[in-house]
Amino acid sequence: MAAQDAALERQPGLSVVCRGLRSVVCRMAMLRRAVSSVGRGFRETGQAIERMGMRAQDNWLFQEKLCRHRAVMKIFDQRPKIGAAVFVAPNATITGSVEIKESSTVWYGAVLRGDQSSIYVGGYSSIGDRTVVQSSAINPTGFSARTYIGDYVTIGQGCLLRACTVDDNSVVGDGCILQEGSLVDRGAMLEAGSLLPSGARVPSGEVYGGSPASFVRKLQKEELTEFQMTAEATTSLAAKHADEFLPYGTMYQLKEEMEGAKK
pLDDT digits (tens, 9 = 90+) for 74-91: 887 788 999 999 999 989
- The predicted pLDDT at position 11 comes to 57
% residues pLDDT > 70 (the chain): 83
Residue 35: band (very low, low, confident or very high) from pLDDT cuts 50, 70, 90:
confident
What integer pLDDT is reported at residue 23 of this predicted model? Answer: 79
Phi and psi dihedrals of 207, rounded to 5?
A: -110, 130
Q: For CA atoms 40, 42, 48, 53, give the dihedral sign.
A: negative
Pairing of strands 201-202, 165-166: unpaired
- Sequence-distant (6+) residues with CB within 8 A of 158 are 128, 129, 130, 131, 174, 175
The C-alpha atoms of residue 212 and residue 205 are separated, in whole angstroms, by: 19
pLDDT attached to residue 254: 61
pLDDT at 250: 63
Peptide bond just before 140 cis, omega within 30 deg: no
Q: Exposed (0-12), middle (13-18) or buried (19+): which is 185, by Cβ within 10 Å?
A: middle
Judge contact between 160 and 172, C-beta under 8 A.
no
CA atoms within 13 A of residue 129's CA, in its CB half-sphere:
2
The whole-number pLDDT of residue 47 equals 81
Asked whether the predicted pLDDT for residue 192 surpasses 60, the reply is yes
Inform me whether the pLDDT recorded for 148 exceeds 90.
Answer: yes
pLDDT over 80 (residue 17)? no
CB 148 within 8 Å of CB 165: yes
Contact yes or no for 100/80 (Cβ under 8 A): yes
Closest CA to 122 of 67, 90, 183, 165: 165
Q: At 147, is the pLDDT very low, low, confident or very high (cuts 50, 70, 90)?
A: very high
* Over residues 236-263, mean pLDDT: 71
Helix 2-9 to helix 12-56 angle (10° resolution) is: 120
The yes-or-no verdict on residue 203 having pLDDT over 70 is yes
pLDDT exceeds cutoff 60 at 7? no
| pLDDT value at 18 more than 90 | no
Q: Rounded to an integer, what distance in angstroms lies between the CA atom of residue 43 and that of residue 47?
A: 6
* Stretch among 56-65, 79-88, 110-119, 138-147 having the lowest mean pLDDT: 56-65
Q: State whether residue 56 is helix, strand or coil.
A: helix
List phi, psi (to 5°) of 262.
Answer: -75, -25
Cα dihedral 17, 18, 19, 21, rounded to 10, equals 90
> Mean pLDDT for the chain?
85
Helices marked H in 10-92 — which ranges? 12-56
Q: What is the DSSP letter of 219?
A: P
Does domain 72-242 fall under CATH 2.40.240.20? My reply is no
Q: Does the pLDDT at position 8 exceed 50?
A: no
pLDDT value at 158 more than 90: yes
Which of 60-64, 117-121, 224-228, 258-262 has the weakest average pLDDT?
Answer: 258-262
Q: Where are the domains of the chain?
A: 2-56, 72-242
In this prediction the pTM is: 0.70
Average of per-residue pLDDT across 152-165 = 96
